[in-house]
Structure 1
Amino acid sequence: MRAMGRLAAALAFATGAGGAALAVVKGRDAPELARHAVMVLDDRGGFCTGVVVAPDVVMTAGHCIAGAKAWRIHFRDAAGAPTMLEPSGVALHPGYNGQAVQNRRQSIDLALVRLPAPLPAPFAPVALAASDASGGKLSFAGRTLGVGGYGLAAEGEPRTGGRFRLAELGVVEPYGPSRILVWLSDPSSKPGAGACQGDSGGPVFGDGGEVVAVTVWAEGVGKAKCGGLTQALLVAPQRGWIDSVLAKWR
């Protein structure tokens, strides 16, 4: 009962009923992309964003799964009613390290969540960036990527949550998949857009609509908690693990 109570609290945060969970700020509503994303709630009272990668599988950040004892996938059905599904399986990337920051270690902050049944329409899997078997480098230099997620449109205003939003951010570094992470920031003359807590696991879209990364961390400027840097884990270098888990779950 305690776990379910915390899941209910997470649902309240996610639907804007209260709390301080944050997501993409200064982003635009993106209903055309919302069919590729859901919310991942946990018994710690928190929530993340998840990417639909198969009819019954959601990809999210590893830290959204690690340490929790119960999870639910949350979305709104065709009638707009909130729905929560209990996962039938969870796979945490073997390279995930919960103490990576403290120990200055690399961590593959990624997880897959299996559902007991396919998500209903209009939800649909999104294409993932492919790994380059030739060893070539995909350049991100000068590119703008779309960072999406559920949560608040404005920091500190919980009533603005519960809708999928997208912010166009410029790549700061690195520029190739030889590393596992990419950093992004607001390229406008009045910066402040970016991802925050609650946006973890959300999709980072490339030019062709494919997901090239998932959000794993963010920071703000000064006292702000978001709108400074957004950090995301590149998908292409992890395709081997992702595809192997999906094949196992078929």
Structure 2
Amino acid sequence: MADGNWHITAVMLGLRAFLTVAALACAAALSPAGAIAQGKVVRDPDGIRRSVVQIESSRGELCSGAVIAPDLVLTAAHCVLQRANYRVVIVDRSFRRYAVRAVAAAMHPDFVAGTTPRNQPGVDLAIIKLEGSLGGDFLPLDPRDATAVAPGDSVILAGFGLTAENRRGSARVLRQTRLVTLGTLKVANQVLVMADEHRLAVTAGAGACRGDSGGPVVRGGPGQYQLLGIVSWSSGARQSRVATACGGLTAVTPVVDHEDWISSRSRELRVFAAERGYGSPPPRTIYDWFAW
């Protein structure tokens, strides 16, 4: 306990200076986040498995996402930029994999395509509309329950990404890990920055990797998870000897700051589907990508 308190105190006292140094040192390796470095494979069928999905495009893009309704997934906007077909891959209680077609996606209106994650001036959020319901085996995370996250808060990251930059075969397995919140970093946009509680991104530790973009950051436990944010980008550790996007800082878009947009856009997508079905496209104002 004393060791953990020391680390949190160090974070609180040195937050601003640390983030400045870490952001500059890792800038060359910043990347959309990919699999979880030093994460544990999720094996509890009643745990975070019920609220996290994998997102794939027909062009090979891999991301993660948070279930926010039986037919809606919240993810990062940069995960749905390609002109491609998208699907959401779910794992059932026996951890068998099934695919559900994505039919539309709405990106946050402030998101600016074509920029690097660190310099993204907009909000890296998107909502994916699924062709059908995921069913009662999945537990949506309600964005309306989101609260602010303070420096020193312990959180859980979940995603389907790589365990390390050079381990391409490690993706597509759901993992989770615990991180500590360092505070807010504002470069072009505003994100929460998190890292391994003991390494603090100075040396490689737990954190997001390639494929974890769009994955949820939560707190709480099975059946009571509270959605806090969506992973946007990650970096290597400050003292890493090789260029990598894994095991250092994990940058997260806070849900509490954008709950109004999430709720209103989700409502528009779902109302359209309920009232008009899939025979014709929704009004162009409520989607950015459309597959029907």
For the criterion TM > 0.5, the same-fold answer is yes
Residue 167 of structure 1 is matched in structure 2 by 177
Residue 67 of structure 1 is matched in structure 2 by 82
**2:168 matches 1:152:** no
Amino acid at match of 2:212: D
Q: Which is richer in helix?
A: 2
Length-normalised TM-score, structure 2:
0.69
How many residues are paired up? 223
Length-normalised TM-score, structure 1:
0.79
**2:120 matches 1:108:** no
Q: Distance in 1 between matches of 2:99 and 2:172?
A: 14
User: Conserved in 1, the CA contact under 8 Å of 2:38 and 2:163?
Assistant: yes
Amino acid at match of 1:23: A
Change (3 A) 1:129 1:246: closer
**2:201 matches 1:181:** no
**2:41 matches 1:25:** no
Alignment partner of 2:262: what SS?
A: helix
| Cα deviation, residue 123, structure 1 | 1.4
**2:251 matches 1:231:** yes
| Cα deviation, residue 85, structure 1 | 1.8
| Cα deviation, residue 245, structure 1 | 1.3
Alignment partner of 1:34: what SS?
A: helix
**2:110 matches 1:95:** yes
Select the residue among 193, 215, 224 that pairs with 2:206.
193
Q: Distance in 2 between matches of 1:130 and 1:80?
A: 28
Change (3 A) 1:225 1:125: same
Alignment partner of 1:23: what SS?
A: coil
What runs of 5+ residues in structure 1 fail to find an aligned partner? 1-20, 133-137
Superposed CA RMSD in Å reads 2.6
Change (3 A) 1:228 1:239: same
Select the residue among 204, 221, 225 that pairs with 1:209.
225
Q: Distance in 2 between matches of 1:145 and 1:118?
A: 28
